[in-house]
Structure formats: structure tokens, C-alpha cells
Amino acid sequence: MQIFRTPNINFFRWRWQAIVVSAIVILVGVSTIWFGGGLPLGIDFSGGTAVVLRFEERTPEEAVRIALSSVEGEKVVQQYGDPAENEVLIRLPQIAEEAGASLEQGANSVVEAIESAALGEFEVQSTDIVGPVIGRELQQKGIYATLAALAGILIYVGIRFRFTFAVGAIAAVFHDILVTLTFLTVFGYELSLNVVAAILTITGYSVNDTIVIFDRVRENLRSMRRDKLELVVNRSVNQTLARTIITSATTSLAVLALFLFGGEVLHAFAFTMLVGIISGTYSTVFIAASTAVFVSEHRANQRVSTAPGLTGGKKRSRRQKMKIRAS
């Protein structure tokens, strides 16, 4: 039973407008990261201490900041989780190694400072401590994991379909990563291990949608050999559009539930997934398909221009034109 009829939308008519919108969003993200001093790294990557305290009575964040004025380093104090729980998250930078301090000293100094300020009864809910060496190792492993995923995608799509399709898939993945990092930076989320896991997840999700379209393109090329590649790809996008939207919508509902009810710990993960799913659906339609067509036509034109017997303005044969369309 067919729920949605196959539309007939000319997506390639809007591809340049879509590329401009993507370029503006990415430019905003790059500018924010550049002028903001780089990506906001969480404790997982930068090293430091994070302490979550639960107070018996509501305690203003400013009072906690004043109480921590004696603690060394720049401190970040913010509400954590449900406001009714009276929980406060305190982040401290890593203690300088030359100071000879242990990794636990930051957490101990926080507890001592709060006790001295007499802000009421409280208990330590959690303490996360990451040393500088571990932070650097996690950075490297996160980068290696992302590069390995991109390399695997390029190899698989190149073998399964063709090289030009692999370029389109990688362009869409890079687009999704940059757009996601833009929204994370603008909305003040830190780059943590959870966020890296979400980025790798949306990478695979985006490629899955792209492969569905490219598989339909390969099928349509057999029955539409006389048509231009742009028309074949546009037809394929329309034929798979309903499937792409339904899959993205159902996944977004689950992720939205995580964002709304999953608590503070899952906020960054769920937000990354939401942005990535929306961006992945958009890039599959406009970025991956357009890039694959552009690269295919460019390579075909290069082969024709360097082929013997085609210089001097001679007309191309019908077979040569068909090769260009199917490249």
C-alpha cells in the first residue's frame, strides 16, 4: 500500500540556493569557533574536574561562585538537571603539573570551600576527574575514529557504486559534521565523548540515506540510459523522498524524547543527533546528489576533451553523448 505518491520536484533547480545557505551556516560556525578561541572542549578532552553538588535548599549560583573565589583557576558554575533538585555543576580547569597537586585536589578544594561558606547542607552527587595526558589521548582517539569512519565510507561507496558517488557521500558527511559543530558552538555545548559518539552516529545515518538514493540511481540508469544524469538523479531523489522523510521523522521523535526527558547528561548527545538528522536529510537531497552529478559531468568532459578525434570543434557521436550522461 502506497501512503505517499511519488512527487515530481526539480531539486536541482534549487541546488545553488541550498549550497549558499549551507555556506552561510558553516561560515557562521567557523567564525564563531575562530573568534571564540577554538571549539569548546569538555573535560573529557581538555582535562580538569567536574563536581555535581545537591543542596538541601535552593542555593543561588552567584553564592556558589562567591564561595569558590578562594579556589585556584577559572571556574564555571551552572545549574544542573532539574531545577527542583537544587543541583549545581562546578567545572575547574586542570591543575598545573608544576604545582605538584594531585588530580583529586580540585574536587577536595571545592568541597572545602562550600563547607567554609556555610551555604547549607549538601552532598556530592558525582565527581569526574580527567588528567591532561588522558585528555590529549582522548582527543587523538576521537580524531582517529572520525577519520577512520570517513575513509571506510569512501572505500565502501567507491567500490559498491563508483568514485563520483563516493565523493558526493563524503561531501555530504563533511557538510553534516560542520553544520553540527556550528550549532553546538552557537548554542554553547561542549565537545565531549558523548558528542563525538553522536557525530559518528549521524555520519553513518547520513551515509545510509545517501546510499539508498545512489542505489536507486544505479537502477534507474539501466532504464533511463538516454537521459541526462541530472534527470536520473533527480528522479531517484523523488522516488526515495518519502522513505527518507519518514525514516528521519521517526528517528527524530525518539531523539527528541531523549532531549526532553533524558536529563542533563544526554542533552548534548540528543541535541547533536537532532541537528545531524535534519542536516543529513537536507544534505542527502541537495549536497550528495548535486556533488555526484557535478563530479561525474566534470570527469566526463575531461575524458571527451582529451579523447583523440574530438578536437577542433568536431561533433560528438551519439554513443559518446550517452557515455557522458551515464558517467
In this structure, what CATH number is given to the domain that contains residue 21? Answer: 1.20.1640.10
Does residue 2 form part of some domain? Answer: no
pLDDT at 242: 85
191 with 184: CB under 8 angstroms? Answer: yes
Number of domains in the chain: 2
Task: Examine the pLDDT at 100 and tell me if it is beyond 50.
Answer: no
Q: Which of 88, 104, 130 is the last residue of a domain?
A: 130
% residues pLDDT > 70 (the chain): 80
Does residue 118 form part of some domain? Answer: yes
Same-domain status, 33 and 85: no
**pLDDT tens digits along 41-91:** 776 677 777 788 888 888 887 888 888 777 766 667 777 777 777 788 887
Same-domain status, 189 and 258: yes
Does residue 4 form part of some domain? Answer: no
% residues pLDDT > 90 (the chain): 7
Sheet strand arrangement including 87-93: 76-79, 87-93, 48-55, 122-130
202 with 280: CB under 8 angstroms? Answer: yes
Same-domain status, 115 and 232: no
Candidate from 68-77, 222-231, 302-311 with smallest mean pLDDT:
302-311
Q: pTM of the prediction? A: 0.72
Same-domain status, 89 and 15: no
Q: Which of 130, 151, 166 is the last residue of a domain?
A: 130
Does residue 258 form part of some domain? Answer: yes
Q: Which domain holds residue 313?
A: 11-39+135-321
How far apart (Å, rounded) are the C-alpha atoms in residues 156 and 129?
39
Q: Which residue has the cell 544505479?
A: 218
Same-domain status, 92 and 170: no
Same-domain status, 286 and 152: yes
Same-domain status, 16 and 146: yes
Does residue 27 form part of some domain? Answer: yes
Does residue 159 form part of some domain? Answer: yes
Task: Examine the pLDDT at 271 and tell me if it is beyond 90.
Answer: yes
Does residue 301 form part of some domain? Answer: yes
pLDDT at 155: 82
Same-domain status, 195 and 271: yes
Question: What is the three-class DSSP state of 238?
Answer: helix
Question: What is the three-class DSSP state of 57?
Answer: coil
Same-domain status, 166 and 240: yes
With residue 35 as reference, give the H or E element that holds it: helix 15-35
Q: Which of 130, 157, 192 is the last residue of a domain?
A: 130
Task: Examine the pLDDT at 126 and tell me if it is beyond 90.
Answer: no
Pairing of strands 87-93, 76-79: antiparallel
Residues 6+ apart with CB under 8 A from 218: 161
Cell of 122: 549538601
Does residue 1 form part of some domain? Answer: no
Per-residue pLDDT band at 234 (split at 50, 70, 90): confident
CATH number of the domain bearing residue 82: 3.30.70.3400
Same-domain status, 188 and 76: no
Same-domain status, 272 and 312: yes
Same-domain status, 228 and 282: yes
